[in-house]
């Protein structure tokens, strides 16, 4: 099996391929043209988000047997074409759900306790206690939208805080647990003090959090997004922050983010406005990005490939 490793992965992947006597290539420095030139020789691809593997590119890889994506999102892969051509597609959201949940919780606790603001002030010899009085999570309502691996892991972290946890998922049902109530989206709008997105990127979720969506909430709320940036319209988020309809935001992903985890345009006016809010915490798409998750995602991907092609 000839496999291209198109990004930087845990060595467990290459070590496993070597053990199986597969031919693998370190291709993280490949350009798109390099890929096009070599695509016809490939039987396997391991990728995160280096290229969008659309139909035009996949057609060039006429020997392709599988695509492995350590992580969760598959929006950059033409899944319909893969199914048509019997190309196996593997992912490993199980591997970074714990890391993402901890990151989301860390951002939330930092926001409600004013930790970033207070930290910056104390480092500048400013000592303000009353101005940095925080808010407790206990007794509040967390609305989770999307209850897959990520949403479930986040709910598990929250259960010890004495919150009421409600969850909605358009694509599944019957996931109620001892500490999570399964509800309708309207119930999320009615009850939530906090809203956390754990949704895939698709036609239903692109631009989902817009002015109309925000206005449906009965109470002002805090928004957490560790899913996909294109789900939240920055212009509408800014307006809601100005009016206090949204009381704060924790964003690990942004609307203006490129597939290779960079910003399209750092002079984007909506992003520049967003950065001015003290009640907004930002991180560079690193929720789920831990040393442990890198190994776990690799281990799970290898296990799935092994089960299909080796056993």
Q: How far apart are CA 16 and CA 75, in angstroms?
A: 27
Count of CB atoms within 10 A of residue 177's CB? 14
Residue 255: both structure tokens together:
């609307």
Task: For the chain, state the CA radius of gyration.
Answer: 21
Query: What does the alpha-carbon distance between residue 260 and residue 290 come to, in Å, rounded to a whole number?
Result: 18
Residues near 130 by Cβ (< 8 Å), separated by ≥ 6? none
d(C-alpha 261, C-alpha 195), whole Å: 24
Scanning 4-114, the segments in alpha helix (DSSP H) are 11-19, 32-38, 55-60, 79-84, 97-112
Smallest CA-to-CA distance from 66 within 55, 52, 79 is with 79
278 noted as active-site residue: no
- Considering the candidates 152, 257, 272, 278, report the single residue annotated as catalytic: 257
Q: Catalytic residue, from 285, 292, 303, 306: name it.
A: 285
Q: Is 285 a catalytic residue?
A: yes
The closest of 309, 263, 301 to 284, measured between CA atoms, is 263
Which residues in the chain belong to E strands, given as ranges? 2-5, 23-26, 44-46, 66-69, 88-91, 141-145, 164-168, 181-182, 194-197, 221-225, 246-251, 280-282
- Enter the tokens of residue 143: 């609305």
Catalytic residue of the set 48, 69, 228, 255: 228
* SS3 at position 98: helix
Integer angstrom CA distances of residue 297 from 96, 98, 127, 162, 236: 6, 11, 43, 31, 35
Q: How far is CA 82 from the centre of its chain?
A: 23
The catalytic residue positions are 228, 257, 285
């Amino acid at each position: 099996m000839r496999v291209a490793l198109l990004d930087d992965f845990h060595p467990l992947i290459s070590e496993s391929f070597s053990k199986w006597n597969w031919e693998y290539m370190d291709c993280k420095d490949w350009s798109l043209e390099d890929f096009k030139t070599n695509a016809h020789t490939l039987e396997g691809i391991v990728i995160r988000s280096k290229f969008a593997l659309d139909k035009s590119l996949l057609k060039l890889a006429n020997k392709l047997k599988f695509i492995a994506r350590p992580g969760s999102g598959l929006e950059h892969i033409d899944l319909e074409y893969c199914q048509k051509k019997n190309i196996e597609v593997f992912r490993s959201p199980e591997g970074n759900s714990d890391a993402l949940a901890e990151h989301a919780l860390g951002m939330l606790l930092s926001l409600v306790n004013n930790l970033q603001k207070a930290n910056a002030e104390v480092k500048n010899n400013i000592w303000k206690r009353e101005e940095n009085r925080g808010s407790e999570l206990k007794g509040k309502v967390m609305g989770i939208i999307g209850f897959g691996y990520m949403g479930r892991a986040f709910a598990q972290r929250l259960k010890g805080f004495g919150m009421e946890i409600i969850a909605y998922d358009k694509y599944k049902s019957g996931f109620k647990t001892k500490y999570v109530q399964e509800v309708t989206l309207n119930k999320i709008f009615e009850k939530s003090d906090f809203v956390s997105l754990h949704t895939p990127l698709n036609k239903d979720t692109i631009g989902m959090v817009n002015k109309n969506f925000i206005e449906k909430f009965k109470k002002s709320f805090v928004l957490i997004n560790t899913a996909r940036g294109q789900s939240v319209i920055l212009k509408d988020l800014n307006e809601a922050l100005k009016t206090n309809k949204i009381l704060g935001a924790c964003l690990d992903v942004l609307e203006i983010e490129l597939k290779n985890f960079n910003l399209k345009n750092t002079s984007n006016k909506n992003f520049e406005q967003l950065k001015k809010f003290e009640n907004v915490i930002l991180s560079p798409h690193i929720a789920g990005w831990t040393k442990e998750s890198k190994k776990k995602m690799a281990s799970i991907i290898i296990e799935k490939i092994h089960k299909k092609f080796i056993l």
